[in-house]
Structure 1
Amino acid sequence: MPVINVTLMEGYDEVTRERLAKGITQVAQTVIGAPLEGITVTLQELPPANYMRGGTRKSPGTPPISPSEIIRSYLAAMEARDLETAKQWLADTALLTFPGGADFTSLEAMIEWARARYRSIGKTYERFDETGTDDGAVVICQGTLHGEWLDGSKFEGIRFVDWFLIRDGRIVEQRVWNDLSETPATR
């Protein structure tokens, strides 16, 4: 069973240290197949006075917002139709792909496309999963959709999966899968 020791500069908050330890545990489980309960991760901290790089004392940097929190903030803004806030989370070259191969490079175009499908929509989240890749962080969220069809009737319990790629704190790609087209009101 692996024992992984990590040395950090003193000063990172508890949430950041916990995210780091959990992430390292998940990587070890995935890469070497060790059972979760058999993986030990220890974080040791060096006081700033005991750390120097390039002949200069350093301080810990500010950790970025977690990829899942970026996605939660973006999706909350989209559900509220606060497009200005939602746009702050998108890279300038973001590509949004929705069911049926509908690709968008602007939120306005995506919302216009959705107007022909439903009056309103919301999400109930069951889980968020995130991982690092060579291209950036990937977040997958899944759950169910609820809302109102064009005729005013309500819907709920429609499955969805959203896949996001995040680079430098911004969403560069979103891919959406859902069962909206499998329900009677959209046929």
Structure 2
Amino acid sequence: MPIVEAHILEGYSATEKSRLTSALTNAIRFVVPAPDVAITVMLHEYPSEAYARGGQHRQPAPALPDPSTIVRDYLTSMEARDLEAAQSMLREDFQMVFPATDPMTRLSELIEWSKARYRSVKKTYDGFDALHGNGVAVVYARGTLHGEWLDGTPFDGIRFIDRFEISEGKIVRQDVWNDMGEVRAQ
């Protein structure tokens, strides 16, 4: 029965503390074969006046935004074709790679590329999975695609997985895998 204690400065919201305890529980589960109910996480909060580094009292750093929320908001903006809102969620060095494409760096490239593939496409989500690795938050969005081919024929149930990397609260990279090409060829 693992017990994890973390010391944090006061100032984080209940939601942020809940995200932290969930993340610590998940980190333990990567190594220790214990069910969630057997993992205890305790947060000890201290007022900023009780903490100093280098002789200076410090304030807590603001919590990072939930990476899954960033991805959901981005995908919602893209589906609504609110490109300005979607663009605001991307870092300047953003890259996206779709099946059989070179990396694209602008949303306008994606819109132009997709015009030759389908009239419309929307996503139904089965889930979002977030983790942290190599200095970035990684979010996988998975589910199915539905929409209309160029000739107006509907399609649906096409599997997809999108992998996003988030750094500094912005999306840095999007990799897309789906069965659209295979289904279209049929």
Q: Give the aligned partner of residue 4 of structure 1.
A: 4
Mapped to 1, the partners of 2:48 and 2:172 lie a distance apart of 36
Q: Give the aligned partner of residue 65 of structure 1.
A: 65
Q: Give the aligned partner of residue 156 of structure 2.
A: 156
Task: Tell me the alpha carbon deviations over residues 119-178 of structure 1, each in whole angstroms, 9 at most, x when there is no partner.
Answer: 111111111011111231100010111111111122222111000111111211111011
Mapped to 1, the partners of 2:177 and 2:84 lie a distance apart of 24
Task: Tell me the alpha carbon deviations over residues 49-98 of structure 1, each in whole angstroms, 9 at most, x when there is no partner.
Answer: 32222222222232121111111111111111111111111122211110
TM-score, length-normalised on structure 2?
0.93
Matched, 1:121 2:121: yes
Moved more, 136-145 or 175-184: 175-184
Q: Give the aligned partner of residue 47 of structure 1.
A: 47
Aligned to 1:103, what secondary structure does the other structure show? Answer: coil
- 1:102 shift after superposition: 4.0
Q: Give the aligned partner of residue 139 of structure 1.
A: 139
Matched, 1:104 2:107: no
Structure 2: gaps spanning 5 or more residues: none
Mapped to 2, the partners of 1:146 and 1:68 lie a distance apart of 22
Matched, 1:18 2:18: yes
TM-score, length-normalised on structure 1?
0.92
Q: Give the aligned partner of residue 36 of structure 1.
A: 36
- 1:182 shift after superposition: 2.1
Mapped to 1, the partners of 2:85 and 2:182 lie a distance apart of 31
Structure 1: gaps spanning 5 or more residues: none
RMSD: 1.5
AA at the equivalent of 1:65 = P
AA at the equivalent of 1:162 = D
What is the percentage of aligned positions where both structures have the same residue? Answer: 45
- 1:114 shift after superposition: 0.5
AA at the equivalent of 1:147 = G
Count of residues paired in the alignment: 186
Mapped to 1, the partners of 2:157 and 2:95 lie a distance apart of 27
Residue 101 to residue 31, structure 1, CA distance change in 2 (3 Å): farther
- 1:108 shift after superposition: 0.8
Q: Give the aligned partner of residue 87 of structure 1.
A: 87
Q: Give the aligned partner of residue 179 of structure 2.
A: 179
